[in-house]
Structures are given as C-alpha cells and as structure tokens.
Amino acid sequence: MAERPEQGSNMAAFFNIVCVVAGTGTLGLPYSLAKGGWIGVGILILSMIMSIYTGILIMKCIYYNGHTRLASYQEIGQHAFGRIGLIAVWFFHTSIVLGAPIMYFILSGTEIRELTAAHVNIPAKAWIWICCGVVSIPFVLMKSLKEVSLLSIFGVVATAVLVGVTMVESGLDYKNHKDTIQYDAVILRNLPIAVATISVCFGGNVVYMHVEESMRYPRSWNKVLVWAMLACCLMYAMVAVPGYLTYGPSSESPILKSLPQGTSRKVATIMIVAHVLLAAPVLMTSFALEVERVFDISIEKRGVIKERLYRTVTRLIIMGAVGGIACLVPFFDSFLSLLGALGNCMLIYVLPIFFYWRLIGWRQMPWYELLWCAIILIIGLLGCVIGSIDAIKALHHDFTYGRPE
C-alpha cells in the first residue's frame, strides 16, 4: 500500500465516510428504539463495532494476493466465489448505492412538500424530481470521490446541525410527554426489524473501496475508519436517546414528524434537504464509477471528448432511474427497514467474513475471533431474512391500504 501523492488526505476520507454513513439512518433511530426498546442503544454500539471489524476485513481482501489491488467490492466477490460471488455482490451493492439515494429523495420530497404546502401547491413527486435535478449537477460534473469530498464536508456540517436541532427540540419537548410515556427495555418480537433498521446506520461498505482508493496514505485506513464510525455513533446517540426518551413508542420515522411545529423543525427540514443534495452524489458516484469501469468509459479508452459525453449520458440515465423509483415508494420507514435488512446486513456483516475466509483463510484465526465472526454472521443473517419479511409485509400493507394524510 504505497503512498499516492496525487490523492486526497485522511481528513477528506473521514468526511466522505461520515457524510455517507451518518445520514443513512439518523432520523430513523428513535423509531428503531420504539420498535425494539432501550436495547436498541446496545445494538447500535454493537453494530458499530461489528462494522469496524468487517470494514477492516474487506480492505484486507482488496490486497489479499500481496501484488495488486482489487478495484471494487464486486471484484472481491468474483475472486472469492466466481460468477456467483460477483452477481451476489452486484445485487446487494446496487440495492444500497442506488437504494440509499432513493431513500434520501423520498424523504426530501415528502418534507419539502409539508414545508411549502401553505405557500405553493406542488406535489411531493415533483419535489423529488426537483431534488434529482439539483443533485445531478455535481453528480455529472464531479468525476471521482476525490472531487466529491468537498461536498462531504458540507454534508457533515448539515448533518451535525440536523442532529443538534433534533436533540435540542426533543429535549425541550420532554416536559410535555414525560408523564404519559412508558418505555420498554426490550421488545423481543420486534428485535429483528429493529436490528435491520439500525444496520442502515453503518451502511458505508459500499463506498469504502472508492474512499480508500482516493486516500494519499492508504495505510491509515483502519485509523480513519475507527474515528469515522465513532463520530457517527456519537451523532446517532444524540438523536436516538432524546428522541425515544421524549416520544417513546410513538416515535416516528423520520423523527422530524414527531417534533413540534415551528422554526426549529423548518431548520431541521432544510438541513436534511441539504444533506440529500450533498451526500447522494457520494453514493451515486460510487455506483457510476463501477458502471463506467464495466463499459470502459475512460480517457485512455475513449479520449477526452467521448469520455465526457459517455459519462454525462450514463450518469443522467442513472439519475433518471433513481428519481423514477423514488416516486413509486413513498413510505419512508418501511422502505428504510427493507433497505437495511436486504442490502446492509449482507454487505456489512455477512459477505466480508465469507470473502475473507475464502481468500485469506480462517485457520489462522484464534478461536475467540472465529466465535466473534459466528456472532456477526448470525446477527447479519437473522436481520436479513426476518427483517426483510417484516419490511415487505409493512410495504404490502402500505400499498394495499395506504396511510392517512
């Protein structure tokens, strides 16, 4: 892992990770605690530790042969299990790098519609397309994550403001609910769906390869990852604990729906919209880089003019697909649960361990590390299977019976 003088700093990598990870589940955490009880805080910390461990494992897989660096998560799957591994990673990877921006646009369209309803009569679907149009500008113009890292800095600032507003507002509202709210330490029947939703909070594996590729000092990966995950976990706790403490079982996803109407809620809405505009390009650029690599869309292969033209057309098609899907799935919380159960549980918890065992081996691991891997696999598979079933049932109910406006 030699130094790369032309690439970005450790701080830029830190912001790229935090910008992607911290935004994917922040607003749904009080709802997760409402589903599973206070044990969700422990699940959050456990998820952080597990994601750090598997994030280190997956990076070892990239350099497993000691000579060359694999370019993507898909290549790791192919080297480990051939075509089956390639297809499996492609499916789960795509569900996240496209699913998370879809989730962002659903949230932004819904919240902007509520924010502007008294002034303009523009439906949520139209706002979704407007957000897609705004995000398409940096998505098309910025080629790699090195350029996108500037947006990540502002994305982290927007997320920090959002966390601060949510924490303060829910804390101030506590006095209005403290006498009527009852809490649960653990709700066993809802644990799988709670685990699935919380797993979204650490869904950064899909961009790790490209973030590490953009680092000048790749040997610093482990340190950068640990600090980024700790920062994310701190922000999550600052939203989850006050939110559940104030609203208890009635906590909604996103938590903005539970906050009292007023200026602070409007500020929070503006911040989440800002996060959409700044974080979505990071995930979508990761996906676009994979597509461009498959179709040899590079200056070396196509020349400067054709490379720019093909890249622009490809990314506009991707944005159109994301916007179209976002308009078909308006139920944010159920979609969030399905996204976490299906994609993140496999990519974060399950596949890195199987790939590491296949490429590097499990025999050199001490027994306690093998036991730790087994615990991660059990949690990941249970969250994937049971969480997906519950989330699909919720989505079916939403589409069949709808929800009150």
Residue 73 DSSP class: H
Residue with tokens 């070892």: 60
Assigned token pair, 244: 């559940």
Q: What is the pLDDT of residue 93?
A: 83
* Amino acid, single-letter form, for residue 157: V
The secondary structure of residue 257, as a DSSP letter, is G
Is the CB of residue 284 less than 8 Å from the CB of residue 97?
A: yes
CATH code matching the domain that covers 10-399, chosen among 1.10.3720.10, 3.30.499.10, 1.20.1740.10, 3.30.479.30: 1.20.1740.10
Q: From CA 372, how far away is CA 52, in angstroms rounded?
A: 13
Contact 384, 342 (CB under 8 A): yes
Q: Of the candidates 87, 318, 349, 325, which has an alpha carbon nearest to the alpha carbon of residue 202?
A: 349
In this predicted structure, what is the pLDDT of residue 233? Answer: 94
Alpha-carbon distance 1 to 18, whole Å?
23
Measuring CA to CA, which residue among 20, 6, 5 is closest to residue 209?
20
Q: Which pLDDT value is given to residue 360?
A: 93
CA 321-323-327 angle, to 5 degrees, is 115
Phi/psi class of residue 248: alpha, beta or left (left: φ > 0; alpha: ψ in -120 to 50)?
A: left
CA 357 to chain centre: 25
**Predicted confidence pLDDT, tens digits, the chain (405 residues):** 567 767 778 898 898 899 888 865 677 889 889 988 999 999 999 999 999 999 999 999 999 988 888 988 999 999 999 999 999 898 888 877 887 788 888 878 887 888 888 888 898 889 999 999 999 998 888 887 777 777 888 888 888 888 998 899 888 888 888 878 888 899 888 877 777 678 767 877 878 888 888 888 888 999 999 999 999 999 999 999 999 999 988 888 778 788 888 888 788 878 878 887 788 888 888 888 888 888 888 888 888 888 889 999 999 999 999 998 888 766 765 776 676 677 778 888 999 999 999 999 998 899 999 999 999 998 888 778 877 787 788 878 877 877 655
- Coil, helix or strand at residue 265: helix
10, burial (CB in 10 Å: exposed 0-12, middle 13-18, buried 19+): middle
At 300 the three-state DSSP class reads helix
Predicted local confidence at residue 403, as pLDDT: 63
Domain positions in the chain = 10-399
Q: Which residues pair with 215 in a beta bridge?
A: 8
In 174-260, at which residue ranges do the beta strands (DSSP E only) sit? none
End-to-end Cα separation, the chain, in angstroms: 54
Spell out the residues 6+ positions from residue 240 whose beta carbon is closer than 8 angstroms to its own.
29, 30, 32, 33, 40, 41, 44
